[in-house]
Structure 1
Amino acid sequence: MILICLVIGVLGFAGLNVFGKTLFHKLLMCLFAVVFIVSGIFVVLNDHNEFGMEKTVEKKQIDLVSSGDKEMLPILLYQPLGDGAEKVYLYRTSDSEELKKTGTDQVTNQVVQSKDDASLTQETTYWVYESNFYQLLFGIADNDHKYANQSNTFSLPDTWQVLSADEAKALGEYMNANKEELSKKAAAYVQEKLAALLTTSPTLSEKEQQEAVQAFTAEFQQQAIKEFLDTLHK
């Protein structure tokens, strides 16, 4: 409707400016000019300042699986942009094999530790019309539910690693090249830890021992990754 008012204002002003002779015509021409100017101002305000609109937030939580190989410790990948201050995160959901990535247009990302399973909480803010009146007025612009910004919070257990794409690639190459040696070291580490645990807790059930072995294996992998990354960045 606002664009219709804008067009009517232009045509009315132009027509009367050419053909208007009487005082009434001149007053009417001024009225059309006011309609045109006011309509133009409202169009600009709606386009640049979201006049007549309000924000609404849509929130969803997504379960995550590792961005890397299933054989490795679970990881979340990111790709640094520019000087590295901004990052695009590459994540994989439980229902997709394809890596998805966070956006760069008005997007903030953060990674926090959690005791729960890995997940992504995504809060997306949109501009929507405050009322049907404003939608009728500006709806022709087709900007209802206009994107404003997005916040992504990755909640990861302490067993997860957050690595850049280059770090993950180098890590994969290192682990493949040293697979046999790392397996021996891991077995020795787990055996030593398990023996120490059984010394203090000799009545552990077989299930508890298996859980301990899994925990010690993950612990060794985390230490191995940390040592590799420290060496990589020297």
Structure 2
Amino acid sequence: MVLITLVIGAIAFFIAFMFTFKPASRIAALLISGIVLIGSIVLMVANYSNHFGMEKKTVTTSTEIYSASNSDTMPMMLYKKVGTSGKNNVYVYNLKSTQKTPNHTKADEYTSNKVKTTSDGTTATMQTKTTRWVWKSDFYKNLYMWSGMNNTIVKRVNTFTLPKTWVTLSTTQSAALKKEMASMTTEQQAASKTAGTQYVTQAVTAAMAKNPTMSTTEQGQIAKQAQAEYYSQVLKQAIASIK
């Protein structure tokens, strides 16, 4: 509506200035149209510069994410370095257990990312808090119709909560890690596989010693967790060697 009053005020002021000749009528017309014109301009400037008539609204969403490696035994979070502070790094993840093209966070001035590790559970999550400017009421919504200011983003904060078995590494480290793993000899691969099997067996044996009545399903869960822990240790050691 303020855009309409701005146009009307400008046209009325022009007509009053050019085509009104009686002094009293001219002054009144210029005064009224000038107030409408200047008032509209003030309201527009207040909205664009100070978000007059608006308030901040934050929406929080949370979703489960999966390893960017498409592997349950080698869960990892990848990131691409952007800048020097690390706040604007682009993080790569999957929204499905396997997918060809991974998802990634936005690389813009509004987005920042945090990564936390938890010892509770085996599920990785991404919580996104998005803050935007919205109209305080329908009055301001109608007043600033067509302004394009509604839902203007203020900030977006992504918080990744990862199980302790996950590994976070840069895309550069990931490329170096793939190269190093590809150079492993058959004997080294066999030795790593044997060590992993022993680690899982020991974990299941220890768990059954504490709970002899453990079901097959529970044993499988213990084995899967132990396998993830083993490969996490292997990955972290490998990453430390290429830093």
Instruction: Calculate the TM-score normalised by the size of structure 2.
Output: 0.83
Contact 2:134 2:150 (C-alpha < 8 Å) held by counterparts: yes
- Match for residue 91 of structure 2 among 89, 92, 112: 89
**How does 1:85-124 map onto structure 2 within 5 Å?**
85=86, 86-94=88-96, 97=99, 98-103=101-106, 104-114=108-118, 115-116=120-121, 117-124=123-130
1:163-208 Cα distance to aligned partner (Å, 9 max, x none): 1111112212222322631341341364278459858949856846
Residue aligned with 1:81, SS: coil
Matches within 5 A, 1:60-71: 60-70=61-71
Cα distance in 2 between the residues matched to 1:202 and 1:19 = 98
SS for the counterpart of 1:219 is helix
Query: CA 1:203–1:37 in structure 2 vs 1: closer, same or farther (change >3 Å)?
Result: closer
- How many residues were matched structurally? 233
Change beyond 3 A, Cα 1:174–1:148: same
| Structure 1 match to 2:189 | 182
**In the alignment, residue 225 of structure 1 is paired with which amino acid?**
L
- Stretch deviating more after TM superposition (208-217 or 107-116): 208-217
1:171 equivalenced with 2:177 (yes/no): yes
Q: For each residue in 1:87-146, what CA deviation from the matched residue of structure 2 results, as whole angstroms up to 9, or x when unmatched?
A: 011111127723111122311211112323111111112222111111111022233233
- Where in structure 2 are the equivalents of 1:201-220 lying within 5 Å? 201=209, 207=216, 213-220=223-230
Mapped partners of 1:231, 1:168: distance in 2: 12
Shift in Å, 1:72:
5.2
Q: Do structure 1's residue 144 and structure 2's residue 150 form an aligned pair?
A: yes
Code of the aligned partner of 1:47? Y
Separation in 1, partners of 2:211, 2:62: 41
Residue type of the alignment partner of 2:29: L
The answer for unaligned runs of 5 or more in structure 1 is: none
Assess if the C-alpha contact under 8 Å between 1:65 and 1:93 holds in 2.
Answer: yes
| Structure 1 letter corresponding to 2:144 | F
Distance 1:110 1:199, change over 3 A: closer
1:158 equivalent to 2:164? Answer yes
Structure 2 CA distance for partners of 1:215 and 1:134, relative to 1, 3 Å: closer
Large movers: runs of 4+ above 6 Å: none
TM-score, L = length of structure 1: 0.85
Please give the root-mean-square deviation of Cα atoms over the aligned residues, in Å: 2.8
Does residue 224 of the first structure (1) align with residue 240 of the second (2)?
A: no
- Give 1:161's aligned amino acid: V
SS in 1 for 2:81: strand
Amino acid at match of 2:30: M
